[in-house]
Amino acid sequence: MKIILVAGARPNFMKIAPLMAAFQEKPGIQTVLVHTGQHYDQAMSELFFRELEIPEPEINLGVGSASHAVQTAEIMKAFEPVLLAEKPDAVLVVGDVNSTIACGLVAVKLEVKLIHVEAGLRSFDQSMPEEINRLLTDTISDLLFCSERSGVENLRHEGVAEEKIHLVGNVMIDTLLKNRGKAEHSKILDDLHLNDGRPYAVVTLHRPSNVDSPGQLRGIMAVLAEIAREMPVVFPVHPRTRSRLDGYGNRGAVPLFLTDPLGYLDFLKLMAHARVVLTDSGGIQEETTILGIPCLTLRDNTERPITVEMGTNRLVGADPVRILDSFHEVHSGAERAKRIARRPPLWDGRAAERIADILRR
């Protein structure tokens, strides 16, 4: 069986790594790794591949950044000749980025089987580009591998045939559990002078609703400045959003640290030792659940409800008062004692193995 695996942006790398490893251990599965180049920071992409021990991609489409329409179209144009030349039995896509839907569409139009890993997740908010990508990819896929029970239920509700749906666990958690010990060797806390045991907060922001709205961004940054008066706040900033944060760097004695994007191991250690994480990222909601770190999600919805039901995640939206009140609650000893994460079913580090076994059968 010949499978093309597609990676395109930073969130994909942590999901592809355990799949590549599992497939290499299973006789009868031949893999071709295609990197679309959707993530335009080549240095960061290469760092992730080294840290996660992902083999060098056989093919790099080098598409780069652009608008959603242009990027999706360019990926499709570049991926079609690859599919025609390689003649795979299936294409495997992960997550919900533009590379996911673009390569999925090319595959099904050429009558190649499509496999979607991390299927069925729904925020029920179609203003999110990722939600559109998720819905469309699931609709055209032949096999759907779900990370949590809500994904299975959503697909059933949408009329997907039962034989296509498989609950296998979370491949991104496979990567976290494999690298948790290795991340402890990171020097990131030394580099940020946070190695003295004092509590600190970690922030990530990238959703257009938070980053591209000047009023909303100003409100969030004002809250972060308030939090920074109580503990250091570390904010690794994506290059696209750095210009929008001009003027919100270190202000006198207020320890709000804006850093460049971090590698996987550095960021994993930073999260694992934080008092609280504030984010609008779906993947970080999952990672903090396993790490047992309180997570304040700066959104009104989540496509990963298991992290709220069983984990340390709390939806707080973008209202400054609500964010600050929630921070004070999770910072208190009583709240920390109350919110103890339970590991969701099948988040045990073996999701990729289950996927490989199902594909062989």
Which residues belong to the active site?
206
Alpha helices in 229-276 (DSSP H): 239-242, 264-272
CA separation, residue 306 to residues 115, 284, 290 (Å): 23, 13, 11
Residue 332 burial (10 A CB sphere; 0-12, 13-18, 19+): exposed
Give the three-state DSSP class for 335: helix
Phi, psi dihedral angles at 175 (to 5 degrees): -65, -45
Alpha helices in 212-281 (DSSP H): 214-228, 239-242, 264-272
Give the three-state DSSP class for 185: coil
Residue 229 burial (10 A CB sphere; 0-12, 13-18, 19+): exposed
How far apart are alpha carbons 314 and 301 in whole angstroms? Answer: 10
3-state helix, strand, coil in the chain (%, to 5): 50, 15, 35
Give the three-state DSSP class for 298: coil
Token couple for 32? 């071709």
Identity of the residue numbered 240: R
Q: Taking Cα atoms as reference points, which of 343, 345, 285, 284 lies closest to residue 148?
A: 345
Phi, psi dihedral angles at 106 (to 5 degrees): -60, -45
Q: Report which secondary-structure segment, H or E, holds 2.
A: strand 2-7
How far apart are alpha carbons 276 and 288 in whole angstroms? Answer: 9
